Every structure is written in C-alpha cells, then in structure tokens.
C-alpha cells in the first residue's frame, strides 16, 4: 500500500481478471480443436499439428511484439497526446493508426509467406514430400495462411484496448469468435466430412469474426486512420519491436527445434507432441494476465518515481520500451 498510491492495486486486479479469461479462451479453443482432430487419428492430428506449429512460429515472431508495444504506446499516447476529432468526438491517437497499418502489412506478408512457402517450411521442419503427413499438412497450412491478416489485426486491436485499460471488450468478442469456431468444428470436420480441412476453415472464420467485431468496437472510440499519411508514427514501433523480436525468437527457437524433432520421428510422435504442447500453452499463457494489467494500468502506477511526467503529473509506464 505504501508503494502504489490510491487504488492502483484494485485497478490491477480488475484489469487482470478479464485478462486471465481472455488468455484462457484461445488456448482452450485450440485444445478442443486438438481433441476433435485427434478423433480422426494420429496421422491427421500430426499433420494439423505441424501446420499449426509453423503458423504459430512465423506469426508470433512479429505478432507478440506488436501486441505488447501497442499496449504501451497507446497507454502513453492517451496520457500525453490524447485529442478528440472535431466532428465525431472520437480519440485521435497516432499510436492506434500506426498499429493498425503495421498489423495489416505484417498480416499480408505472413499470409503470402505461409501460402507460397508452405512446402519449404514443411521441409525445414523435417516433413519431406514422401512423408504421409506432407500432403495434409501443406493443405492445412495453406488454408490457415488465409487467416493471418485477421489474426495480426486481432492481436493489434487487443493491444490497443489494453492501452485503453479495457480488457473486458476483447474478452467478449474473442469469446464469441471462439464459440463460433467450437460450433463449426464438429459440423465441418464430421458433418461435412472435411477432416482437418474443416478444422482450418473454422479457425480462419473465427479469426475474421473476432477481427471484424474488435475493429467495429474500436471504431466507436477512436479514429482508425488519420487523414494524412505523415501523421503515422512507425519509428517507435520499429525500434522497440526490434528489442522484443530478439526475445521472442529466443523463446520460439526451443519450441521450433522440439516440434521439428518430433516431426522427424513420424506421425505418432508428432501427434503426442501436439497434445502435450497445447496443454502446456493453455497453462503457461495464463501467466501473461498480470503483465497485461501492469502495462495497461493507470499512469499513476509510477508516480512515486522520478520518471518523465505526463500532463496530469503522473508517470507514464512503458514496460517493453524500458526493458
């Protein structure tokens, strides 16, 4: 109570609780997807698992830094430079527009890379064209690639809402999107007998549903794109993103090697690895909730320090930039 003034501790709890739920929804949906695909057999689960692994590895290299930096930059932008549009009354924040433009560009690049380079990525992971997993895994990865733009935009908008200290809105729309995926999974996999192709389609559909809902909600609160291109600010994102990129690569390197080693052992080993990995991710990602609440917390969190002051006399905390 002596370290954090006022009700900052309560603010952290209120931000963390929805964040915990939000962090749990996606891994739980992936666990259900794994369970549905697993009923098709070890070969199908292994094929989908290697496709999911490649998609996650390539996307998380850029997506995780973008999400974290957007949270910090938007929170700082609100504290320092928040202004409202003269006619609509919405917030005009360069950090919001810059994050959205970067997300769209990164998502498009990821989609093209995954779609056009699916065969190459599979070979790098140890799945050769003669492997029984190759054909199904390549089709699954190519379909999942179509959801990359929506996935990146979805994560960027989540980061923006966290900067607004709003962790409830993303939880609502992520929940609705994942519920749609859960409903579509058995219908497409078993009802239409599409197998893992149906699983990929259901995931992509849910990603676009979430992205559209989040963008619609954000458009009510902030101007999405500025009237002039020169108002965009990419310098801070690129500088801080480079630092986080190194950290993310170091984490993903171990997971990539593990997945590659499992894939080289055959479908059974890869299927077992996929089950264990999804369980581990579902548990470990929950720990990020406290970091989310700290990043998006009120700027008064560090008022007791001598850091740079915001317009209201409270310090601006940007965890990823200072680390």
Sequential DSSP letters for 78-90: HHHH-EE-TTT--
**At 40, is the pLDDT very low, low, confident or very high (cuts 50, 70, 90)?**
very high
In a domain, 3, yes or no: no
Whether 53 is in a domain gets the answer yes
Question: Of the ranges 89-93, 114-118, 226-230, which is most confident?
Answer: 114-118
- Specify the pLDDT at position 294: 58
- Residue 280 pLDDT more than 80? yes
pLDDT at 241: 66
What pLDDT was estimated at residue 313? 40
Q: Considering only 16-30, 91-105, 220-234, 293-307, which range has the smallest mean pLDDT?
A: 293-307
Q: At what angle do helices 288-296 and 8-38 cross, to 10 degrees?
A: 140
Q: How far is CA 33 from the centre of its chain?
A: 18
Q: Does residue 276 form part of some domain? A: yes
What string of DSSP letters covers 288-310?
HHHHHHHHHS-GGGGTTS-S-B-
- Is 242 among the domain residues? yes
Residue 1 within any structural domain of the chain: no
What percent of the chain lies above the pLDDT cut of 90?
50
| Domain presence at residue 301 | yes
When mean pLDDT is compared across 12-26, 81-95, 160-174, 189-203, the lowest value belongs to: 12-26
Confidence band of 8 (pLDDT split at 50, 70, 90):
low
Range in 77-81, 129-133, 147-151 the model is least confident about: 77-81
Of 279, 281, 284, 277, the closest CA to residue 260 belongs to: 277
d(CA 73, CA 280) in angstroms, rounded, equals 30
- At 316 the three-state DSSP class reads coil
Segment holding 116, helix H or strand E: helix 94-116
Structural domain for 239, as ranges: 8-322
Instruction: Name the residue with higher pLDDT: 213 or 300.
Output: 213
* pLDDT confidence bin for 23, thresholds 50/70/90: low
Instruction: Quickly state the pLDDT bin for 133 (edges 50, 70, 90).
Output: very high
Sequence-ordered list of residues with C-beta below 8 angstroms from that of 219, at least 6 positions apart, any chain: none
Question: Could you tell me which residue, 235 or 110, shows the higher pLDDT?
Answer: 110
Please check whether residue 245 lies inside any domain of the structure: yes
pLDDT of residue 137: 97
Q: Are 108 and 62 in contact (CB under 8 A)?
A: no
- The answer to whether residue 100 is domain-embedded is yes
Over range 292-312, report the average pLDDT.
Answer: 46
Distance CA 141, CA 146 (A): 9
319 confidence band (pLDDT: 50, 70, 90): very low
Q: Is the separation of the CB atoms in 102 and 240 below 8 Å?
A: no
Averaged pLDDT of the chain: 82
Number of domains, the chain: 1
**Of 2-6, 85-89, 151-155, 279-283, the least confident:** 2-6
Q: Which pTM was predicted?
A: 0.82
Residue 46: is its pLDDT beyond 90?
yes
Q: What is the DSSP letter of 5?
A: -
Segment 192-203 mean pLDDT: 97
Average the pLDDT over 270-297 and give the result: 73
Buried b (16+ CB within 10 A) or exposed e, 292-302: bbbbbbbbbbb
Sign of CA dihedral 211, 279, 16, 233: negative
């Amino acid at each position: 109570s002596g370290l954090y003034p006022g009700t900052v501790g309560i603010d952290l709890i209120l931000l963390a609780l929805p964040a915990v739920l939000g962090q749990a929804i996606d891994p739980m949906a992936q666990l259900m997807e794994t369970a549905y695909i697993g009923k098709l057999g070890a070969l199908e689960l292994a094929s989908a698992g290697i496709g999911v692994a490649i998609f996650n590895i390539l996307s998380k290299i850029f997506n995780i830094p973008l999400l974290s930096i957007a949270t910090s930059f938007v929170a700082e932008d609100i504290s320092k430079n928040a202004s409202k549009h003269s006619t609509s009354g919405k917030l005009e924040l360069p950090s919001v527009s810059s994050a959205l433009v970067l997300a769209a560009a990164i998502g498009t690049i990821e989609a093209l890379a995954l779609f056009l380079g699916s065969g190459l990525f599979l070979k790098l992971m140890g799945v050769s064209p003669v492997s029984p997993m190759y054909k199904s895994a390549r089709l699954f990865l190519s379909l999942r690639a179509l959801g990359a733009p929506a996935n990146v935009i979805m994560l960027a908008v989540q980061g923006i809402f966290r900067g607004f200290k709003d962790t409830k809105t993303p939880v609502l729309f992520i929940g609705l999107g994942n519920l749609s995926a859960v409903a579509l999974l058995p219908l497409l996999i078993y009802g239409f007998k599409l197998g893992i192709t149906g699983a990929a389609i259901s995931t992509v559909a849910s990603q676009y549903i979430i992205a559209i809902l989040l963008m619609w909600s954000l458009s009510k609160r902030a101007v999405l794109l500025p009237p002039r291109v020169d108002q965009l600010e990419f310098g801070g994102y690129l500088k801080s993103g480079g630092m986080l990129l190194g950290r993310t690569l170091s984490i993903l390197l171990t997971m990539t090697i593990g997945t590659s080693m499992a894939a080289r052992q055959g479908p059974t080993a890869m299927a077992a690895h996929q089950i264990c990995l999804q369980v581990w991710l579902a548990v470990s990602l929950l720990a990020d909730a406290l970091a989310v609440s700290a990043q998006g917390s009120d700027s008064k969190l560090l008022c007791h320090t001598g850091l740079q002051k915001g317009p209201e006399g409270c310090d601006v905390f940007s965890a990823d930039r200072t680390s």
